[in-house]
């Protein structure tokens, strides 16, 4: 079996290629892709060659929903026609998998997939739940920080995760404020009715103190810019919490003043990835529209035009956030 796939042949390069899939075994399922979506942070770092473990050439991505077309004789948890979530795949080509979502067809052990539905969801539902893992990162962050009613949360970065974290904070009765330097993102987030501030504003200190006179309960970092994080630590209340959830690749520039954290007995937490609880909670929140993903999808492409999506990711122009690819005519 052969399939089309997006690959990164090297840093800052992207193209379509054809993969020769391995033959399915008794525990395998064959999945035809319906929708895949770009993870704008992780996939950009992979494209740049900076993400830990990146090897070229590779198939990127981990957001993928498909329909089961074949089941091995030992597969018990799925049947043909089921809608599933996952990106696991095996192919014969000498191409690495950086989670490998952006393919037309896959062969994999069925235990590596999540069940979504026994019938075809509507297009918008497929598109929104395709971002379950990315939104699940925000779910894990809010869960780890134990966000509570009435707390004030300062979120660095108005990207996909930051906006989801703000939504989840509100669901818990907290009051989020987003920090963002990009003017296009600021305008976008304001259009979604979130409170957002630019850290370069002359009166930023006064604005932050007006929002949280006693300090923010939680500082939630999704960006990984140490200077920004370090400057905002002083706005965290005594015995507050800092979550470090970004990518921190540049060791020489990852310095944060630990003394100011120690003196005020601030708790520092980290998360990486998600677990089954985050996945299931997030998918449920998306499907019930408690977590609104549709407004975050800025671009949609047929799979034949997937490289246009990566050009957007590569250049950042025009403004983009959620990018989805449709691989099947049933997604209309």
Q: Is residue 283 part of a domain?
A: no
Domain count along the chain: 2
Domain with residue 148: its CATH number is 3.40.50.720
The pLDDT value recorded for residue 249 is: 76
97 contacts: CB under 8 Å, gap ≥ 6: 58, 59, 89
Using the predicted structure, report yes or no on whether residue 251 has a pLDDT greater than 80. no
Pairing relation of β-strands 15-20 and 96-98? Answer: unpaired
Q: Is residue 279 part of a domain?
A: no
280 contacts: CB under 8 Å, gap ≥ 6: none
* 210 and 115 co-located in one domain: no
* 151 and 260 co-located in one domain: yes
Q: Is residue 179 part of a domain?
A: yes
Q: What is the pLDDT of residues 145-169, one digit of tens each?
A: 999 999 999 999 999 999 999 999 9
Q: Assess whether the previous peptide bond of 285 is cis (omega < 30° from 0).
A: no
Average pLDDT, rounded, for the chain = 96
Q: Is residue 247 part of a domain?
A: yes
Q: The domain containing residue 266 runs over which residues?
A: 135-270
* 152 and 261 co-located in one domain: yes
The pLDDT value recorded for residue 133 is: 98
Calculate mean pLDDT across residues 61-67: 98
For 152, the token pair is 């004030």
Q: What is the pLDDT of residues 78-111, one digit of tens each?
A: 999 999 999 999 999 999 999 999 999 999 999 9
Using the predicted structure, report yes or no on whether residue 38 has a pLDDT greater than 80. yes
Q: Is residue 301 part of a domain?
A: yes
How many residues are present in the chain?
332
Calculate mean pLDDT across residues 4-27: 98
The pLDDT value recorded for residue 257 is: 87
Q: What is the pLDDT of residues 108-130, one digit of tens each?
A: 999 999 999 999 999 999 999 99
The reported pTM is 0.95
Q: Is residue 264 part of a domain?
A: yes
Q: Is residue 319 part of a domain?
A: yes
* 121 and 242 co-located in one domain: no
The pLDDT value recorded for residue 13 is: 98
């Amino acid at each position: 079996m052969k399939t089309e796939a997006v690959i990164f042949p090297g840093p800052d390069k992207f193209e379509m290629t054809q993969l020769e899939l391995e033959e399915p075994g008794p525990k395998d399922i064959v999945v035809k892709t319906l929708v895949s979506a770009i993870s704008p942070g992780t996939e950009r770092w992979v494209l740049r060659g900076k993400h830990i473990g990146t090897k070229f050439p590779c198939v990127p991505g981990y957001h993928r929903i498909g329909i089961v077309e074949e089941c091995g004789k030992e597969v018990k948890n799925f049947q043909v026609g089921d809608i599933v979530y996952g990106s696991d795949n095996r192919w014969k080509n000498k191409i690495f998998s950086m989670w490998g979502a952006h393919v037309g067809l896959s062969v994999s052990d069925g235990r590596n997939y999540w069940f979504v539905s026994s019938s075809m969801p509507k297009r918008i539902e497929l598109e929104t739940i395709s971002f379950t893992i990315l939104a699940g990162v925000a779910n894990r962050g809010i869960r780890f920080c134990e966000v509570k009613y009435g707390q004030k949360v300062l979120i660095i970065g108005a990207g996909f995760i930051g906006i989801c974290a703000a939504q989840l904070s509100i669901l818990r009765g907290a009051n989020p404020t987003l920090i963002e330097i990009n003017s296009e993102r600021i305008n976008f987030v304001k259009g979604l009715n979130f409170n957002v501030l630019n850290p370069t504003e002359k009166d930023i200190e006064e604005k932050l103190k007006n929002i949280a006179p006693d300090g923010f309960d939680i500082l939630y970092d999704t960006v990984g810019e140490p200077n920004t994080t370090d400057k905002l630590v002083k706005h965290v209340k005594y015995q507050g919490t800092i979550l470090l959830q970004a990518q921190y690749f540049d060791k020489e520039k990852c310095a944060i003043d630990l003394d100011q954290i120690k003196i005020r007995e601030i708790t520092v937490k980290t998360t990486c990835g998600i677990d089954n609880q985050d996945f299931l909670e997030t998918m449920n929140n998306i499907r019930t529209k408690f977590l609104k993903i549709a407004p975050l999808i800025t671009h949609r492409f047929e799979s034949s035009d997937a490289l246009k999506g990566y050009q957007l990711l590569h250049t950042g122009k025009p403004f983009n956030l959620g990018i989805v690819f449709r691989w099947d005519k049933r997604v209309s």
